[in-house]
Amino acid sequence: MQRTFKRNINIVGTGLHSGRPARLTLVPAAAHMGIWFRRIDVEGRDNMIPALWDMVNDTLLSTNICNESGVCVSTIEHLMAALAGCGVHNAIIEIDGPEVPIMDGSASRFVAEIQRVGLVDQGHSVAVLEVQKTVRVEKGDAFAELSPLDHFEIDFTIDFPGTIIGKQSAGLDLRNGAFVHDLANSRTFCRVEDVTAMRAAGRAIGGSLDNALVVEGDHYQNPEGPRHDDECVRHKMLDAMGDLMLAGAPILGRYRGYKAGHALTNLLLRKLFATTGASHFRLAQPAELPCLPGPDLRDFALLQAG
């Protein structure tokens, strides 16, 4: 069944790139509405932006969406991953500025707040996007690919030679509960030299060791170190999950990424929808519901009791 929040969720934080304070209110939405952002600071123009792949207008360092009135919201990927991973199908995200707060650099705060408030079944079947034909996009030696599968999986490889990150590969079956348990707390990461370049370009103004894993050659600058030995590739999987949420429905298929990022994942969705016979939307069968991302039975009991 489709799900939304039991009640409003309020979150306050700071934008990673803008450094500006940001307030979010996650509002329950009616069945079949999907995920929308509402810029409550914007007046006199359309301030509603659907969280969909064809609204993406920028993928440099984050995923940004923009409506036809030029109203935009940036750095949406971690929140979108949390919504996907918790099995939220309908929501309005009210925000008082142009950038979603970074929190600790992962999706864990968003997940925790969703779990604290709880979800409700809305009595309507869930639409799914079934991948029927393998689709792939490439840039240099990097690629992103979607192929048919009866549930949702992500396989990812990154390679940062000469750093403590090195080459990391991971794969995860995203059936019920896996995102919350295995990916949600993995933080965004960057190299020291990247920080210098980003700040020179007016970005990462709100970045710190409190919201990013910072790599300096053969060590991490963060005193606590990584949360997982492969935290960096896990975070890339988290990003991919958030970007794929922009398909408009949970995906039945396998995503493979090699050195991929926001740009390639969005290009992949664009190619998927432009390729005849590559995918189609349909209602999930009852037996398929456990194949979708969302809370496992234990988590869902907690959410319902929230």
Task: Please pick, among 17, 151, 235, 262, the residue that the annotation labels catalytic.
Answer: 262
Beta strands 251-258; 142-147: pairing state: antiparallel
Quick one: which of 24, 23, 28 has its CA closest to 7?
28
Q: What would the DSSP string read from start to end of 218-264?
A: TEESSTT--SSTTHHHHHHHHHHHHHHGGGSS-EEEEEEEES--HHH
Contacts 24+ apart (CB under 8 A), 44-50: 45/69, 45/70, 45/71, 46/71, 47/71, 49/73
Whether 100 and 129 have beta carbons less than 8 Å apart is answered as no
| Planar angle of CA 9, 13, 16, nearest 5 degrees | 130
**How far is it, in rounded angstroms, from Cα 124 to Cα 299?**
21
The token pair at 62 is 């984050």
Q: Catalytic: 262?
A: yes
Beta strands 251-258; 152-160: pairing state: parallel
CB proximity list for 100: less than 8 A, separation 6 or greater:
15, 22, 24, 73, 74, 75, 76, 78, 79, 93
Instruction: Kindly report the backbone phi and psi dihedral angles of residue 13, in degrees, each rounded to the nearest multiple of 5, phi listed first.
Output: -165, -160
DSSP letter (8 states) at residue 273: H
| SS3 (DSSP) at 287 | helix
Please identify every residue annotated as catalytic. Answer: 262
